[in-house]
């Protein structure tokens, strides 16, 4: 069964350092999402791609976060510099069209900023 892949699974970094997360969606899925989930809360959408184009990044803190999906397949989310408040689970999901249909989530990257 096809799955969304993410790496690393865990990341510990010090504040002011740069971190990067990678996501490989299910093959053929045009839509890719990056979410941030703080413990006890629901996933918060950071950025949504349709193929290689950003369709929503209204909640992405653009002064420190960046995301790209250059060839419309895998994607990288970067934080520079990391802050203590960035400690959270970063989830990647994909779906076939991005119109409310099922999203398939990867296992997530748990980030701890010290």
In the complex, which residues of this chain contact other proteins (CB under 8 A)? 33, 35, 40-45, 48, 50, 55-56, 91, 93, 98-108
| Nearer of residues 16 and 59 to other proteins, judged by Cβ | 59
The residue among 35 and 65 lying less far from other proteins, judged by its C-beta, is 35
Minimum CB separation of residue 44 from other proteins in Å reads 7
d(CA 34, CA 22): 10
Q: Minimal distance in Å, beta carbon 81 to other proteins?
A: 27
**Shortest distance in whole angstroms from residue 62 CB to other proteins:** 17
User: Is the Cβ–Cβ distance between 23 and 6 less than 8 Å?
Assistant: yes
Those residues whose C-beta lies under 8 Å from the C-beta of residue 40, and which sit 6 or more positions away, are none
Q: DSSP letters along 54-101, please?
A: EEE-TTS-TTTEEEE-TTSS-EEEEESS--GGG-EEEEEEEESSSSS-
- Return the number of the residue (18 or 97) whose C-beta is nearest other proteins: 97
Closer to other proteins by CB, 44 or 83: give it. 44
């Amino acid at each position: 069964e096809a799955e969304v892949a993410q790496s690393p699974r865990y990341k510990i970094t010090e504040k002011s350092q740069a971190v990067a997360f990678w996501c490989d969606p299910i093959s053929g899925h045009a839509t890719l999402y990056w979410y941030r989930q703080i413990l006890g809360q629901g996933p918060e959408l950071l950025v949504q791609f349709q193929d290689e184009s950003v369709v929503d990044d209204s909640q992405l803190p653009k002064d420190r976060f960046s995301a790209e999906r250059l060839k419309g397949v895998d994607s990288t989310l970067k934080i520079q510099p990391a802050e203590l408040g960035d400690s959270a689970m970063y989830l990647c999901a994909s779906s076939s069209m991005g119109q409310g249909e099922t999203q398939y989530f990867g296992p997530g990257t748990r980030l701890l900023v010290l």
